[in-house]
Structure 1
Amino acid sequence: MTSTSDRSKKELPAHHDPCGKGFVNPWPSFIRHGSWDLIKMFVEFDRKQSKVNEQTPLPKILPVDKPLLEKLSQPQQGTDQGLRYDKVAATWLGHACFLVQVGGVNILFDPVFSERCSPSQWVGPKRFTPPPCKLDELPRVDIVVISHNHYDHLDLTTIRALQQDHQPYFYVPLGNKAWFDSIGIKEKVTECDWWDEHEHSFHDSKTGIKVICTPCQHFTGRSMTDHYKTLWASWVVELIPKTVSEKGIKVFFGGDTGYRYVPKGANENDMPHCPAFKEIGDRVGPFDLSMIPIGAYSPRWFMSPIHCSPEDAVRVHEDIRSKRSVGMHWGTWILTDEDVTEPPRRLEAEMRNRGHELDTFNTVQIGETLVVDA
Structure 2
Amino acid sequence: MTSPLVKDNCGLPAHHDPSGSGFVNPWPSFHKHGRWDLLKMGWEFDRKQSKVTTQTALPKILSPNKDLIDTFSHPRDTAAAAETDKVTTTWLGHACFLVQINGVNILFDPVFSDRCSPSQLVGPKRFTPPPCKLDELPRVDVVVISHNHYDHLDLTTIRALQKDHQPYFFVPLGNKSWFESIGIKDKVTECDWWDEHELAFHDQMSHIKVTCTPCQHFTGRTLTDHYKTLWASWVVESIPKHDSEKAIKVFFGGDTGYRSVPKGADENEVPHCPAFKEIGERIGPFTLSMIPIGAYSPRWFMSPIHCSPEDAVRVHEDIRSKRSVGMHWGTWILTDEDVTEPPRRLEAEMKNRGHDPNTFNTIHIGETLVVDV
Q: TM-score range by the shorter chain?
A: over 0.9
In the other structure, the counterpart of 1:193 is: 192
1:56 is matched with which residue?
Answer: 56
In structure 2, the residue corresponding to 1:186 is in which secondary structure?
coil
1:43 aligns with 43
- The answer as to whether partners of 1:76 and 1:83 remain within 8 angstroms in 2 is no
Q: Residue in 2 aligned with 1:4? A: none
Contact 2:232 2:254 survives alignment (8 Å)? yes
Residue identity in the other structure for 1:176: N
CA separation in 2, counterparts of 1:48 and 1:300? 13
TM-score by length of 2: 0.96
- Residues in 2 aligned to 1:312 and 1:9: alpha-carbon distance in whole angstroms: 32
Q: 1:75·1:85 contact (CA, 8 Å) conserved in 2?
A: no
Shift of residue 121, structure 1, vs aligned partner? 0.2
- Write the letter of the residue equivalent to 1:86: D
User: In structure 1, what is the Cα distance between the partners aligned to 2:278 and 2:16?
Assistant: 18
1:158 paired residue number: 157
The alignment status of 1:68 with 2:65, answered yes or no, reads: no
Distance 1:9 1:135 in 2: 47
Q: Alpha-carbon deviations, 1:229-273, whole Å to 9, x = none? A: 000000000000010111110000000000000000000000000
Structure 1: which amino acid aligns with 2:126? R
Q: Hey, what's the Cα distance between the residues in 2 that align with 1:150 and 1:44?
A: 22
Instruction: Determine what percentage of the aligned residue pairs are the same residue.
Output: 80
3-state SS of the aligned residue for 1:352?
A: helix
Indicate the residue corresponding to 1:172 in structure 2. Answer: 171
Tell me the TM-score normalised to structure 1 length: 0.96
Q: Give the corresponding residue for 2:223.
A: 224
CA distance in 2, matches of 1:82, 1:236: 21
Q: Secondary structure at the match of 2:345?
A: helix
- Give yes or no for the alignment of 1:331 onto 2:330: yes
Tell me the equivalent position of 1:122. Answer: 121
Contact 1:197 1:210 in 2 (8 A): yes
Note the 1:325-364 alignment, pairs <5 A. Answer: 325-364=324-363
Q: What is the alpha-carbon distance in structure 2 between the residues aligned to residue 282 and residue 9 of structure 1?
A: 27
The aligned residue for residue 11 of structure 2 is: 11
Deviations 1:52-92 (A, max 9, x none): 011100100000111111111011125x4699861000000
Partner of 2:266: 267
Q: Distance in 2 between matches of 1:42 and 1:48?
A: 10
Q: Contact conserved, 1:106 with 1:140, CA < 8 A, in 2? A: yes
Following superposition, the deviation at residue 336 of structure 1 comes to: 0.4
Structure 2 alignment gaps of length 5 or more: 1-6
Across the aligned residues of Structure 1 and Structure 2, the Cα RMSD in angstroms comes to: 1.4
1:256-310: CA deviation from partner (whole Å, max 9, x where unpaired): 0000000000000000000000000000000000000000000000000000000
**Using the alignment, how far apart are the partners of 1:85 and 1:41 within structure 2?**
50
Q: Deviation per CA, 1:169-199, whole angstroms, max 9, x where unpaired?
A: 0000000000000000000000000000000
Cα deviation for residue 10 of structure 1 reads: 2.9
Which AA in structure 1 matches 2:31? I
Instruction: Please tell me the residue identity of whatever aligns with 1:43.
Output: W
Q: Distance in 2 between matches of 1:178 and 1:42?
A: 32
Aligned amino acid, residue 168 of structure 2: Y
Aligned length: 367
* In 1: Cα distance, 2:66 partner to 2:365 partner: 14
Instruction: Find out whether 1:27 has 2:48 as its counterpart.
Output: no
Provide the secondary structure at the position in 1 that maps to 2:71.
Answer: helix
